[in-house]
Structure 1
Amino acid sequence: MDSTFSYNFPAIRGVQANKEYYVAMCPLRIIPKIFLFDEEEIPPEHRSQRILNKARIPEMTSYIVDNQHDYVFSSITASIDGEIKFIPYNNDSTSNDLGQLRIALDARFLINDGQHRRAAIEEALKISPELGNETISVVFFHDEGLRKSQQIFSDLNRHAVNTTSSIGILYDHRDQLAMVTKEIIATIPLLNRYTDKERVSLSKNSPKILALNHIFNTNLKLLGKSKGDEITSEEDKFLREFWIVLCDSITEWNMVFDKELSPRELRSNFIVGHGVFIESLGLVGHYLRNYHEHDWTSYIYKLSKIDWNRSNTGDWLGRAYNHNGRIQKTSYTIQLTSNRIKQLVNLPLTESELTLEEKFFQGVV
């Protein structure tokens, strides 16, 4: 193969399942040019990827552009349909897997894993062309006719396990609200001891009371924010005060902290050990912040007088849990639980909340 009429990549050769594959460093500027994006060009029987979720692209693009000094992208995996040749830099047995990978110019490339990264790179280059000289690792598999592309995609994703949202928050050092949430947990002894920072739901035998994502989602509701939004110093201050007052006000939490009640007993007998409760308080707190800026703490302290027991069916059945006794956390049940809490601390319901209450009593929700 004439190197003048080929793509040439410095590469490392490896072997899996007795077949060679290659890892190369590709400049970002060539990623949109060589990798097939419009899969209309590929026969349906050889298409391997999911349909591109275009809604993901702006967020991924912003991630690259806004973090040009510390973004991280994992490798793209691609199949090559066409002539290739690997030329070692030398024949020494200790280094003959280092060399140059030559790929014919008329070869076809099909991404098996990384189509959204490829699309985000293309958009990022339009905004910041200077990124073009940076590189991303690409794992190449030789696949004549692209016959194995679907199996490669299936195998790559067979054992993939998505991280929980709690771990995502725990490891996020960019999102401002995630950082504040973790600081709040670290500085309040009750939360620090009884928050599970990895799981999104707690088993009946968990030694914890809340999950990190419950607290984060509650903070979003308290501020009326979306993930990634900036927060002001005043909002930061409110969140910290809110959690201090709340932890002082939930009697059952403090009974767990004082070893008078186990987390298991808490979850079995009270709704305050579940995400539906804490996130409903996010809605209550948001209302208080908007309409009771100077006396909101007095309403939170009233929570200590409420009967949170599951046996209190008049208040919580159909809201925090269903007729089978199973806790249910949906946008409707969170709002319905919030409505009841507001009524119990003598707060008026908004027009939309009253409408939901009417539907609730009519059995519509």
Structure 2
Amino acid sequence: MDSFTYTFAALRGVQAGREYFVAMCPLRVLPRLLQFDSQDLPPEMRAQRVLNRARIPALTRYIVEHPRDYVFSAITASIDGQVIFSPVGAQGALRNVGQLTVPLAARFIVNDGQHRRAAIEDALREQPDLGDETIAVVFFLDAGLKRSQQLFADLNTHAVRASASIGILYDFRSPLAQAARRVAAEVPAFKGMTEMERSSIANRSLKLFTLSGIYYATGALLRKHAEDEISPHEEQLAVAFWSALCDVIPEWGERIMRATSSLELRRDYIHFHSVTLHALGIAGADLVATYPRTWRDQLARLRPLDWRRTNQLWEGRAMVGGQLSKARAQIIRTASAIKQALALPLSPEELRLEQLPADDTTPADDDLLEAER
């Protein structure tokens, strides 16, 4: 890189009849190279959505805390300027391998990866030695604002996001993911009945629970987030708690589960769904805190509870208008009903929600869904 240009090792390719380039960009160069649109511009004048600053700290921590094994996919950007590609060879594959020279005056627009770029900038402030590492950047030659907007739309419209369940299944860094996998493998009601790949269950599926549902419920039970340490004792407590519920919830027993189809059980009962699992985790955390030695005995209070959807107790709690709801208020209200059955006092927030109309459905937020502190 001289004083007037950037030069990157790059590959050349063709899509839709247009040249594009994949360059290896040093992390220290990335923040200077890729600037954001003005956040004050109206949406129709921007090539990208507004940066969500709330997402940046978690991504930054991911880089800083895992400097030896973090991984980011390529960033996609458009270049508005005259670029020069210098191949290392004149024939064959080597004619598409070379150096990409870009003038400093060129304008770059991030089409995909603005949050990764912002997190890298913040991570470099904490660990400047990361600056010599590289990230792949896919450069398209810019044909104007509309083309950049279309690139953004195409990249996001056709992207397929992995389900939460399979992310948990493959996450060997998170102690909570490890605990959830163990719970799914060892608890009698969950063993062999948990959908490990998808976060929803098809009508014809033989599965009853989702791994993501077990993950969030166990996080609520242990009052842990994804990266929090979980001791062997806490992990065993989770297995013991969910196993103990199999003895007090009749429909979680082997006899009924074998004699009734998964479709019927999920259709007729609320406790095969994530909203109720999460609520059980919240109530369970308070139960274990209140009765650390005798919580198993206290669970017997749940034996008479009617978990059928037709029970009006669940309307305005796990259900709104006869439909299951994962809204934050509904999760907490469902937990409140379970806590009342366990003769546990309600927290101030739970008491407040009990006074609100049954159809007040505050959307669930990620922190609550991950773990109820």
The structure with more helix, counted as a fraction of residues: 1
Q: Is the 8 A contact 2:188 2:243 kept in 1?
A: no
Answering whether residue 136 of structure 2 is matched by residue 130 of structure 1, we say no
Other-structure match for 2:333: 336
Alpha-carbon distance between aligned partners in 2 of 1:140 and 1:78, rounded to the nearest angstrom = 5
Other-structure match for 1:316: 314
Deviation at 1:269, TM superposition (A): 2.1
Kindly provide the amino acid, as one letter, of the partner of residue 339 in structure 1.
S
Kindly provide the amino acid, as one letter, of the partner of residue 340 in structure 1.
A
Gaps of 5+ in 1: none
**Cα distance change on mapping 1:288 and 1:189 into 2, 3 Å:** closer
Alpha-carbon distance between aligned partners in 2 of 1:213 and 1:50, rounded to the nearest angstrom = 28
**Cα distance change on mapping 1:286 and 1:89 into 2, 3 Å:** same
Quick check: 263-272 or 53-62, which moved more? 263-272
Other-structure match for 2:18: 19
Alpha-carbon distance between aligned partners in 2 of 1:56 and 1:352, rounded to the nearest angstrom = 26
Q: Is the 8 A contact 1:79 1:146 kept in 2?
A: no
Alpha-carbon distance between aligned partners in 2 of 1:13 and 1:351, rounded to the nearest angstrom = 61
Q: What count of residue pairs does the alignment treat as equivalent? A: 361
Which string of whole-angstrom CA distances, capped at 9 and with x for unpartnered residues, describes residues 287-336 of structure 1?
Answer: 111111111001223333332233333x333333344x322332222222
**Cα distance change on mapping 1:129 and 1:322 into 2, 3 Å:** closer
Task: Summarize the alignment of residues 249-264 of structure 1 with structure 2, pairs less than 5 Å apart.
Answer: 249-255=248-254, 259-264=258-263
Task: Summarize the alignment of residues 205-216 of structure 1 with structure 2, pairs less than 5 Å apart.
Answer: 205-216=204-215
Task: Summarize the alignment of residues 78-97 of structure 1 with structure 2, pairs less than 5 Å apart.
Answer: 78-97=77-96
Which string of whole-angstrom CA distances, capped at 9 and with x for unpartnered residues, describes residues 94-115 of structure 1?
Answer: 4211112111222122211111
Q: Is the 8 A contact 1:125 1:132 kept in 2?
A: yes
Q: Is the 8 A contact 1:9 1:101 kept in 2?
A: yes
Task: Summarize the alignment of residues 100-111 of structure 1 with structure 2, pairs less than 5 Å apart.
Answer: 100-111=99-110
Kindly provide the amino acid, as one letter, of the partner of residue 82 in structure 2.
E
Q: Is the 8 A contact 1:46 1:150 kept in 2?
A: no
Aligned-CA RMSD value: 2.7
Secondary structure of the 1:267 match is helix
For the pair shown, the structure with the greater C-alpha radius of gyration is: 1
Q: Is the 8 A contact 1:245 1:301 kept in 2?
A: no
Deviation at 1:180, TM superposition (A): 0.9
Alpha-carbon distance between aligned partners in 2 of 1:97 and 1:41, rounded to the nearest angstrom = 40
Secondary structure of the 1:96 match is helix
Q: Is the 8 A contact 1:3 1:102 kept in 2?
A: no
Which string of whole-angstrom CA distances, capped at 9 and with x for unpartnered residues, describes residues 165-192 of structure 1?
Answer: 2222222221111111111212234312
Kindly provide the amino acid, as one letter, of the partner of residue 321 in structure 1.
M
Q: Is the 8 A contact 2:174 2:227 kept in 1?
A: yes
Gaps of 5+ in 2: 362-373
Q: Is the 8 A contact 2:165 2:211 kept in 1?
A: yes
Kindly provide the amino acid, as one letter, of the partner of residue 32 in structure 2.
K
Deviation at 1:124, TM superposition (A): 0.9
Secondary structure of the 1:61 match is helix
**Cα distance change on mapping 1:134 and 1:309 into 2, 3 Å:** same
Kindly provide the amino acid, as one letter, of the partner of residue 275 in structure 2.
V
Q: Is the 8 A contact 1:58 1:120 kept in 2?
A: yes
Task: Summarize the alignment of residues 189-268 of structure 1 with structure 2, pairs less than 5 Å apart.
Answer: 189-255=188-254, 259-268=258-267
Deviation at 1:208, TM superposition (A): 1.5
Alpha-carbon distance between aligned partners in 1 of 2:280 and 2:256, rounded to the nearest angstrom = 20
Other-structure match for 2:38: 39
Quick check: 217-226 or 120-129, which moved more? 217-226
Deviation at 1:285, TM superposition (A): 0.6
Which string of whole-angstrom CA distances, capped at 9 and with x for unpartnered residues, describes residues 109-151 of structure 1?
Answer: 2211111111111111111111111111111111255552112
Alpha-carbon distance between aligned partners in 1 of 2:45 and 2:330, rounded to the nearest angstrom = 45
With structure 1 as the length reference, what TM-score do the two structures score?
A: 0.89
Q: Is the 8 A contact 1:82 1:144 kept in 2?
A: no
Other-structure match for 2:156: 157
Task: Summarize the alignment of residues 71-82 of structure 1 with structure 2, pairs less than 5 Å apart.
Answer: 71-82=70-81
Identical residues among aligned pairs (%): 45
Alpha-carbon distance between aligned partners in 1 of 2:95 and 2:189, rounded to the nearest angstrom = 59
Q: Is the 8 A contact 1:81 1:142 kept in 2?
A: yes
Other-structure match for 2:365: none
Kindly provide the amino acid, as one letter, of the partner of residue 193 in structure 2.
Y
Q: Is the 8 A contact 1:81 1:146 kept in 2?
A: no
Alpha-carbon distance between aligned partners in 2 of 1:281 and 1:271, rounded to the nearest angstrom = 11
Alpha-carbon distance between aligned partners in 1 of 2:102 and 2:298, rounded to the nearest angstrom = 70
